[in-house]
Structures are given as structure tokens and as C-alpha cells.
């Protein structure tokens, strides 16, 4: 069947057979279907959606378009945790070592960040000498030794998804629920794991702005996982304000280390202990998430997970003294305190504005070619629900003297804060578990 016939069928809401859709997608990867034809198809999907069968075929074809990571030789129970991204999201840095203390291995691919959200790879690049495992064999060795299995995405993993996403990005079709879900799940299904946990962010600093949309996306991704015989749990977590207090690469690793000592921000601790509780249920060590959370909270108090993170960094050629002495991450030469100009209770702290302000300081990329400054960023001294008085420090900007956007970043950060004369309840970080 011609490409145009496939496009017309999807435009008119006619179901495609598995073979029709698979051939169309495979031909696109091979260059036999043009970008403009695929753009028309993606818009038809955006407008008409996909059936359950079409969604499975799309996900399977993307997964099978590249290398599958079987992690042969790993004996640990494996969890693949994925976050839809947000401001200050350093979850994997703390979660993977915490899971390892319970004999659970992590198996996940991570990427670099673009825009106001930072990638896990960028954060670990804050450590001198650090390089992620560059092969499946190296990843297996690291998982078996430390329990932490994080490696960078390669061109060999779901290449069809990479090609489709680049096209979606410039054709207004990114925000399609079936396209988002299949993109995420194709990568999860390409890596062997015993359980998948998805952290779907909700709010101002997230892609999903409402709880209703996040729940819809979660249901689609869970259904895809079940189609392929995978156990998928979804945590819906708040991103109305940044996660934790630190926004910026080295600053976020510092905060992750402090959290593994039981000395981190409460919202971040709640998130990582909740996900650990879910993982312990999936592994069969406990019957309820609440039991698992209690075990995770107790484990944080021992500091055992810090040693796991140190060993992982050392295995990857990094300077492990940065984990032993995390103050080394606080290396930006200058600090500027943002002072409150009024008295009241903080009612809003717009995550996206905080992320963009940190990007202006050099903590993120506006284009793929931009270089990240791993030392700069923002530490939030006050968040939603905190009472402040005029002159109190709301946040601290870590910067370099030569930064030309410091004033603009400071003004944007200030505008992220809103105040109320009434008391405001601190928001819950966990909004739902599915």
C-alpha cells in the first residue's frame, strides 16, 4: 500500500492493520517514506488518536527498530524508573543507591537536558572524571557490583522514536497522548527489567499541567506495559514548584547526597521513599507501599546509600571524594541572595520560571550546542507554605561574575514568587499512585 493511502486511512479514522502500520513505520526509518508524509500521518494521529492495537504496533515497531538491552548476567531484581521531567528533578541520583541497599538493581537509560529541565547525564558530569558505562557489558558489571545501572542513551536504542520525535517537535504533534506514551514505553520495553515505575510530573514546571491529563497519560502507559507483559506502577507527583531546594547540576547532586544522609528536603525524601516502597512491593519484600516507605525512611537514617553512590561514581572513573565531601559541589565563585520585598505566606513558586532563571545562569541549555556550567544554579530557601518577612532570603543564586544575564535571571526568579496574607498549606508531593 502506498504511503498516501496509509495517511488517508488514518485521516479518515479507519483502523490500520498491524502489517500496514509496521510497514509504513519501517519504510520511514529506511527513508522510503518522506518527512512530509510522516508529518501528515502524525497530525492525523494527533487528531484521531490510535486504537489499542495500533498503539501496540507503534510501540513494538519503535522498540524493535534498534538494539534491545537484555542485561544478561544480572542476578538482581531490576527496576526501571522513568520521570517525565521537571525542575530540580534529581530523583535517579538518590533513588538508585537507595534501591541498591535493598538488593534492587536499577536499569535505565538517561539523557541530557534541553530547556529548563536538566538531564541526569548533565548532573553526573559535575563529577570530575565521571563517564557512564558505554556498553551493555559495562552496565552489567556496574549493576552487579553496586546495584546502580544508569547509562546514556545511544543511537542504537529505539532509533525510530528519535527520528519521529524530532519531527513531532517541529510539527506541533508533541502533545499527543498516544505518541507521548508510545515514545516513553518503547524505551522502557527496550531494556530488560522486572518492574517499571513511572514518575509523571504534574503542574507548572511539568509537561502535564493538570492531574486529569497526567492520569490519562498514566493509564495509557500502564496499558501498554500490560500488553507486553510488564508490571508498571505510576506515581503522579507535584511540579507546581521545583522538587527539593536545589536547581542546577552540581547543586542537585549535593542535595541528593544530603538526602541519602537523611538531611535533605522533605518533599524530595517523600518522593524517593515512596518510589522505593513501590519497588519493594514489586519485588515482593513487603505487601504494602506503606511498609516499604517505613523501611526506606529507616534506611536513609543509616547513610548506607551514600556508600553505594560513592562506589558507583568510583566504578565510572569519577572522583569519589565529591560524594564523601559533597561541599565540593558548592564551587560557584559568587552568590546573590534574593530578598523578600514583602511579608506574607508564599502561595506560588512557579517552577518553570525558576528553571528558566537557572538556565540563564548557565545551568541549562537553550540549544543543543550550549555548554552547561555545572557549578551554577539556584537554591530555594523558601517555598510554598513558608511564612516570610520582608528582608528574608527567598533564594540564593550561584553564578559567575561574567554572566551577562544575572540581573534578568534574578528578576525572573523574583517574579516566580507570589504571596498571600493568609496561611497556605504546603502542597503534597505525591498526588496519586496507580
* 54 located within any domain: no
On whether residue 429 sits in a domain, the answer given is no
- The catalytically annotated residue of 9, 10, 76, 168 is 168
Say yes or no: 243 and 380 in one domain. no
Choose, from 9, 56, 81, 82, the residue flagged as catalytic.
82
- What percent of the chain lies above the pLDDT cut of 70? 97
Residue 222 designated active-site: no
Winning range, highest mean pLDDT, from 104-113, 118-127, 314-323:
314-323
pLDDT tens digits for range 140-159: 999 999 999 988 777 788 99
For residue 148, what are the domain limits?
A: 77-324
Same domain, 346 and 305: no
Residue 92: pLDDT above 80? yes
Is residue 67 a part of any domain in this protein?
A: no
Domain finish residue from 305, 324, 343: 324
Same-domain pairing of 268 and 241: yes
Say how many domains are in the chain.
Answer: 3
> Is 268 in contact with 94 (CB distance < 8 Å)?
yes
- Please state which of the ranges 119-123, 194-198, 364-368, 419-423 shows the lowest mean pLDDT: 364-368
**Residue 9: CATH number of its domain:** 1.20.970.10
Mean confidence (pLDDT) of the chain: 94
- Residue that finishes a domain, picked among 299, 324, 349: 324
Domain stop point among 295, 324, 353: 324
Task: Indicate whether 255 and 387 sit together in one domain.
Answer: no
Q: Is residue 33 domain-resident? A: yes
Please check whether residues 396 and 340 belong to one and the same domain: yes
For 282, the grid coordinates are 514489586
Q: Are residues 168 and 254 located together in one domain of the fold?
A: yes
59 occurs within a structural domain: no
Task: Let me know whether 374 and 309 are in one domain.
Answer: no
Radius of gyration, CA atoms only, the chain: 22
* Domain identity same for 366 and 263: no
**Predicted pLDDT at 121:** 85
CB neighbourhood size of 90 (10 A)? 28
76-91: per-residue pLDDT in tens?
999 999 998 889 999 9
Residue 373 confidence (pLDDT) above 80: yes
The reply to whether 239 and 279 lie within a common domain is: yes
pLDDT in tens, 41-66: 999 999 999 999 999 999 999 999 99
Give pLDDT tens digits for 212-260. Answer: 999 999 999 999 999 999 999 999 999 999 999 999 999 999 999 999 9
Write down the pLDDT at residue 403: 74
- 168 is known as an active-site residue: yes
Residue 431 lies in a domain: no
DSSP state string for 271-308: HHHHHHHHHHHHHTS-SSHHHHHHHHHHHHHHTHHHHH
Same domain, 353 and 319: no
CATH at 389? 3.90.1170.30
Find the catalytic residue in 183, 186, 237, 259. Answer: 183
pLDDT above 60 (res 114): no
- Among 89, 122, 125, 161, the active-site one is 161
339 shares a domain with 303:
no
* Structural contact between residues 42 and 34, judged by C-beta atoms closer than 8 angstroms: no
Q: Average of pLDDT values for 279-296? A: 98
| 433 belongs to a structural domain | no
> How much is the average pLDDT of 291-303?
97
Residue 274 lies in a domain: yes
- Residue 2 a catalytic site member: no
Q: CA-to-CA distance for 64 and 62, rounded, in angstroms?
A: 6
Over residues 178-199, the pLDDT tens digits come to 999 999 999 999 999 999 999 9
Residues 118 and 188 reside in one and the same domain: yes
What is the CATH classification number for the domain harbouring 253?
A: 3.40.1030.10
Query: What span, in angstroms and rounded, lies between the C-alpha atoms of 329 and 416?
Result: 25
Amino acid at each position: 500500500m502506498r504511503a498516501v493511502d496509509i495517511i488517508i486511512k488514518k485521516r479518515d479514522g479507519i483502523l490500520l492493520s498491524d502489517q500496514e502500520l509496521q510497514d509504513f513505520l519501517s519504510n520511514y526509518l529506511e527513508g522510503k517514506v518522506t518527512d512530509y508524509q510522516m508529518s501528515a500521518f502524525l497530525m492525523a494521529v494527533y487528531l484521531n488518536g490510535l486504537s489499542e492495537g495500533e498503539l501496540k504496533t507503534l510501540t513494538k515497531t519503535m522498540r524493535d527498530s534498534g538494539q534491545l538491552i537484555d542485561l544478561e548476567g544480572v542476578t538482581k531484581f531490576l527496576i526501571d524508573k522513568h520521570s517525565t521531567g521537571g525542575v530540580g528533578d534529581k530523583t535517579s541520583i538518590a533513588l538508585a543507591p537507595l534501591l541498591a541497599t535493598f538488593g534492587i538493581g536499577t536499569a535505565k537509560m538517561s539523557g541530557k537536558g534541553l530547556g529548563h529541565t536538566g538531564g541526569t547525564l548533565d548532573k553526573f558530569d559535575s563529577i570530575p572524571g565521571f563517564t557512564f558505562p558505554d556498553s551493555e557489558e559495562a552496565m552489567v558489571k556496574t549493576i552487579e557490583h553496586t546495584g546502580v545501572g544508569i547509562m546514556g542513551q545511544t543511537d542504537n536504542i529505539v532509533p525510530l522514536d528519535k527520528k519521529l520525535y524530532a519531527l513531532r517537535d517541529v510539527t506541533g504533534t508533541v502533545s499527543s497522548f498516544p505518541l507521548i506514551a508510545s515514545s516513553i514505553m518503547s524505551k522502557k520495553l527496550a531494556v530488560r527489567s522486572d518492574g517499571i515505575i513511572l514518575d509523571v510530573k504534574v503542574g507548572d514546571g511539568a509537561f502535564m499541567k493538570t492531574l486529569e491529563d497526567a492520569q490519562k497519560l498514566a493509564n495509557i502507559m500502564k496499558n501498554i506495559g500490560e500488553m507486553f507483559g510488564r508490571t508498571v506502577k505510576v506515581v503522579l507527583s507535584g511540579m507546581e514548584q521545583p522538587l527539593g531546594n536545589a536547581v542546577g547540576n552540581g547543586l542537585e547532586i549535593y542535595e541528593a547526597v544530603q538526602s541519602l544522609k537523611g538531611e535533605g528536603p522533605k518533599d524530595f525524601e517523600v518522593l524517593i521513599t515512596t518510589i522505593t516502597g513501590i519497588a519493594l512491593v514489586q519485588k515482593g519484600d513487603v505487601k504494602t507501599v506503606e511498609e516499604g516507605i517505613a523501611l526506606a525512611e529507616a534506611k536513609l537514617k543509616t547513610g548506607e546509600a551514600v556508600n553505594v553512590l560513592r562506589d558507583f561514581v568510583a566504578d565510572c572513573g569519577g572522583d569519589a571524594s565529591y560524594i564523601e565531601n559533597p561541599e565540593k559541589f558548592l564551587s560557584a565563585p559568587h552568590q546573590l541572595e534574593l530578598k523578600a520585598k514583602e511579608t506574607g505566606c508564599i502561595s506560588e513558586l512557579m517552577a518553570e520560571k525558576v528553571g528558566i532563571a537557572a538556565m540563564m545562569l548557565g545551568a541549562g541549555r537553550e540549544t543543543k550546542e550550549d555548554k552547561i556550567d555545572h557549578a551554577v544554579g539556584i537554591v530555594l530557601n523558601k517555598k510554598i507554605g513558608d511564612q516570610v518577612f520582608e528582608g528574608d532570603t527567598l533564594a540564593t543564586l550561584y553564578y559567575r561574575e561574567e554572566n551577562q544575564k544575572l540581573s534578568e535571571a534574578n528578576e525572573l526568579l523574583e517574579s516566580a514568587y507570589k504571596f498571600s496574607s493568609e496561611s497556605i498549606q504546603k502542597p503534597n508531593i505525591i498526588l496519586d499512585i496507580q
